[in-house]
Amino acid sequence: MKAHTHETQQSITPLRAIEILKEGNQRFINNLKANRNLLQQANETREGQWPFAVILSCIDSRTSAELIFDQGLGDIFSIRIAGNIVNTDIIGSIEFGCKVAGSKLIVVLGHTKCGAIKGACDHVEMGNLTELLSKIQPALYQEKQTSKSEDRTSKNSEFVENVATLNVHRSVKTIVDRSYILEQMIEKGEIAIIGAKHNIETGIVEFYPETLISNKSDVRTQMSY
C-alpha cells in the first residue's frame, strides 16, 4: 500500500475518511494488517505529506491511532495528550493539519480506563497535571447519572466511562467553538469532525454519530447546546 499523495488526499471526502478509519479498525481487531512497506512509504513522503485525517487522542501507550486504525506513514496527523483534552496549541495544530496540509477529518478519540479521566474523577492535584485535569472537570460535573457522592470516584468504572464519553463530546464542541477557521471549513463541507472511543480490551473503536459536525446545519445545531 502506497503513501497518500496530494491527489489521493483530495479525492477523499470527510465521510469517506470515517469509513477508511472504520475499515482500518476492523483490520486491527481481526489482526489483519494492510500490506505496506513502511520504508517505501518513508521514501515516498520525503518531499511532503498528505494525511487525510487529524486524530486527537490520549498519550496512553495502548491507544496508538496509527495502530488501532491500521494506518501507515503519511496517512494521519496524530496529536496525543493525556485525557485527549483541548487547548490553544492543539487547536492550532488541528488548524494546520486541515487548513494548510489538507486533512479532511478531525477525530477526537477517547478510550476506556483512562488514567487522566480517573485522576479528574478523584480531583488529583499534582504539579502541572493539576491544570491539565481541570480541563476535564466540566465533563465530570456534566455527568448526572451518578447521584451519590461516594460513587463519583475512579473506583466506580461506570462513572469513569460516562465522564470519558462526555469529555469526548465536549472536546468536539470546544474545537469548533474556539476555531473560526475550522468552523468555516466545516460549513463549506471541506472537513468534518467526530468523536469516538477506543475500548482497550477489545480494540474496537466506537464512533459517536451524534457528535458528527459536517455542514452548516450541524454547526448551528451543536453550537446551540
Which domain CATH number covers 149?
3.40.1050.10
What radius of gyration, in Å, describes the C-alpha atoms of the chain? Answer: 18
Give the angle subtended at the CA of 165 by the CAs of 164 and 166, to the nearest 5°: 95
In a domain, 138, yes or no: yes
pTM of the predicted structure, to 2 decimals: 0.93
If pLDDT is split at 50, 70 and 90, which confidence band does 165 have? very high
Sheet containing 205-213: give its strands across.
Answer: 76-80, 53-57, 105-111, 192-198, 205-213
Tally of domains in the chain: 1
**By mean pLDDT, which of 7-11, 36-40, 97-101, 160-164 is the weakest?**
36-40
In angstroms, the CA 207 to CA 110 distance is 10
The average pLDDT across 65-93 equals 95
Do the beta carbons of residue 107 and residue 84 sit within 8 Å? no
In a domain, 133, yes or no: yes
Tell me the three cell numbers of residue 151: 460513587
In a domain, 224, yes or no: no
Query: Which residues constitute the domain of residue 171?
Result: 6-217
The string of pLDDT tens digits covering residues 9-68 is: 889 999 999 999 999 999 999 998 887 777 777 777 777 788 999 999 999 999 999 999
In a domain, 88, yes or no: yes
The string of pLDDT tens digits covering residues 112-143 is: 999 999 999 999 999 999 999 999 999 999 99
In a domain, 1, yes or no: no
